[in-house]
């Protein structure tokens, strides 16, 4: 009886119908096309036929196609409805446009660049906006083995009867794995290990700039929006300062720093947005795009 009650409570919370991913040799993983789920806070999550978080058909879109490449901040979270994420709201401000959200939980800059380069479903974009956070530049190439996401619909009797409980168990297993606690204990790390954050960031920046150049050579308008950590709005941290200055130097007016994301109410945690944050980001991004391209 306790198990049944627990399953009911977990389903009420929004667990039990997980978003499905697929594995890819180049860009690690991405969202399985053509799926829909109701998750936390009764938020609807729709992944369209092109693997983008959007209720609009990317292939049949009319007008300007605006593509957002990013990580979980761009994806928007499973606690925010499709209608409230900034990628949807931007196209409410820009007439005759369709927005596609290629944000994926756990992505780093290298995942974004490789997907932009080889996922040809995205080639129809007229405008590409890389929406990144400083942590994306030191993440390397994330693979599906690094994250607790489902590849393929779960099957079997237990998953059928207790899907929410099994989803919770999966996340707990990844977060508190016994093997990780033993072999990856912080006590086992050498105190003399060098910090290569700057080198990793330089490499990621080089890859991003190269991909921007490739996209522009294919007649696409490309921009970068750098969203801050809540505790570092002005990009004063060593790594974030480097990213900010390099984007400013290399991209000039094509770069939008997110220093306007400066209120606690905008944030769900240190980097992800609440609904108010999505509204603020959408207003500023659309204003930026309209000024750059339509005035």
pLDDT (average), residues 167-173: 64
Kindly state the average pLDDT of the residues 227-235: 98
Write down the pLDDT at residue 97.
97
pTM score, whole prediction: 0.91
Q: What is the pLDDT of residue 89?
A: 99
At residue 13, the pLDDT reads 56
Give the least confident one: 88-102, 122-136, 137-151, 154-168.
154-168
Instruction: Inform me whether the pLDDT recorded for 2 exceeds 80.
Output: no
Quick check: 180 pLDDT over 60?
no
Q: Which residue has the higher pLDDT, 185 or 249?
A: 249
Position 192 scores a pLDDT of: 63
- What's the average model confidence in pLDDT over 118-141? 98
The full set of domains in the chain, from first to last, is 2-176+196-294 (3.40.50.1110)
Write out the DSSP string of 57-122. -STT--SEEEEEEESHHHH--TTS-GGGSHHHHHHHHSSSEEEEEEE-TT--HHHHHHHHHH-GGG
Largest Cα separation within the chain, whole Å, is 63
Q: Is pLDDT at 165 greater than 60 in this prediction? A: no
Output the pLDDT for position 9.
64
Residue 272: how many other CB atoms lie within 10 Å: 21
Mean pLDDT, residues 131-145 taken together: 97
Kindly report each contact of residues 17-23 with a partner whose C-beta sits within 8 Å and lies 24 or more positions away, as own/partner: 17/163, 18/149, 18/150, 18/154, 18/167, 19/45, 19/47, 19/78, 19/149, 19/150, 20/150, 20/151, 20/152, 20/153, 21/104, 21/144, 21/149, 21/150, 21/151, 22/151, 22/152, 23/143, 23/144, 23/151
Average pLDDT over residues 20-39: 96
């Amino acid at each position: 009886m306790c198990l049944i009650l627990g399953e009911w409570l977990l389903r009420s919370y929004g667990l039990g119908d997980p978003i499905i991913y697929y594995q890819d040799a180049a860009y690690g993983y991405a969202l399985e096309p053509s799926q829909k789920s109701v998750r936390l806070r009764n938020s609807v999550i729709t992944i369209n036929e092109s693997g983008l978080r959007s209720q609009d058909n990317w292939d049949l879109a009319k007008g300007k196609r605006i593509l957002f490449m990013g990580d979980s901040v761009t994806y928007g979270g499973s606690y925010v409805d499709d209608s409230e994420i900034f990628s949807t709201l931007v196209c409410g401000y820009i007439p005759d446009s369709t927005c596609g959200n290629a944000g994926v939980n756990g992505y780093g800059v290298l995942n974004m660049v490789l997907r932009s380069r080889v996922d040809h479903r995205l080639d129809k974009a007229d405008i590409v906006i890389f929406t990144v956070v400083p942590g994306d530049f030191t993440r390397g190439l994330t693979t599906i083995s690094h994250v607790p996401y489902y590849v393929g619909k779960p099957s079997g009797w237990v998953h059928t009867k207790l899907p929410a409980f099994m989803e919770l168990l999966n996340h707990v297993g990844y977060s508190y794995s016994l093997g990780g606690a033993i072999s990856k204990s912080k006590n086992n790390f050498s105190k003399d290990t060098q910090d290569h954050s700057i080198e990793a960031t330089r490499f990621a920046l080089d890859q991003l700039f190269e991909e921007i150049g490739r996209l522009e050579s294919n007649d696409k308008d490309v921009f970068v929006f750098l969203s801050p950590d809540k505790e570092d709005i002005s990009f004063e941290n060593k790594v974030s300062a480097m990213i900010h200055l390099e984007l400013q130097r290399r991209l000039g007016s094509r770069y939008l720093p997110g220093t306007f994301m400066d209120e606690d109410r905008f944030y769900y945690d240190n980097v992800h947005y609440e609904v108010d944050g999505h509204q603020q980001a959408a207003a500023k991004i659309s204003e930026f795009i309209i000024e750059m391209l339509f005035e």
